[in-house]
Structure 1
Amino acid sequence: MDGSVDNPDEAGGGTVLDRGVAAGAAMVCAIGVLGGCTFSSGGGSVESADTAVSTVTASSDSPSPSPSTAVSASRSPSPVPVTGPDQKLVTMAVTGGYAGVHQELILRGDGTVHTSDKGQPVVRRTSAAQFKELRTLLGDPALAEVPSFTMNMGAADMFQYTLHLNGRTVITDRSSDDHPALDRLIQALSDLLPE
């Protein structure tokens, strides 16, 4: 033997290719570890780009849920809290259609439903179970994902539903099937409107 090593791996050095793969793997690990870090110098801060992390870690055939979908799927609806008997939990106005409908509904914190149909007021009290169900529908986290305006602008003579709930206004004609939580709420409230 001349003292040379036939298998470089036995000498502990590895091939150039093996060392390159190991160095690349170490860089990927470093990017993954540092991907969420920020660096602050003086008055500003520089944040690392998340694209390297998502490129390295994305290896699933099925799409992962968006953050908002994951939040909705993980939280079950709970009844919205009531702060007092005069609290307006939700208001809904239904207008339009062939007959020129104009109905309004207010659900208050004491469980009463104030409705009007073309100005004729009616006050009814919900049962305890019905009031809890309505508050649970109002507490559905999926309602936060509903856009403020969903209307089919090409359609004529549709009903327009204007809801004030959870500090926001939602206007829809229910032409989209993309928001089942909103549809369930509108249906439950519509059942309380005068015939």
Structure 2
Amino acid sequence: MPGLLLGEPFPNIEADTTIGRIKLYDFLGDNRKVLLILLLPCIFEKSLYPVSVDINSYNCDEPTETLPFPIIADPKRELAVQLGMLDPDEKDSQGMPVTARCVFIIGPDKKMKLSILYPATTGRNFDEILRVVDSLQLTAEHNVATPVDWKPGDRVMVPPNVPEAEAAKIFTCGIFTKELPSGKKYMRYTAQPH
């Protein structure tokens, strides 16, 4: 099943959406945006707008057809196949694999910075998505990495490829190195740059 790898250019897909026909690169412009793609194997007019009303209603908003983001129609599942979004374990009433719940984060360079693929039976974790966006923006601007369970304001890690002498010059607020049984010094922490 085709799919995309991190760092690869995200395809400049063209599709019908709840805001009309879009070309992805034109829609993204030069800004970093999170693109949540909800592909629906259905007829556009009869399904997408009721879904928009349902989403707004579920979020305790006025149940209108307008959303702050477009939903993409994919009645023939062409995009789902191209992006590797079919869940082979979950089938619809016709026995066809349903689309998984995917999150793609695409950078200003139009390359995929992150993808999270959830099975159709599992909802997305928006707190995690926001945490990841914060991490991606921080690490794109500064030569740091974020450790497991990192949150904005927590200490960050000095990447292993930064030599100790260079790290001392870059991270003038100090570096804490976690002592490990191997004696290797790759667990280096510093204050989050601002």
Structure whose residues are more often helix by fraction: 1
TM-score range, shorter chain: under 0.3
TM-score by length of 2: 0.22
Larger radius of gyration: 1
TM-score (structure 1 length as normaliser) = 0.22
Structure with greater strand share of residues: 1
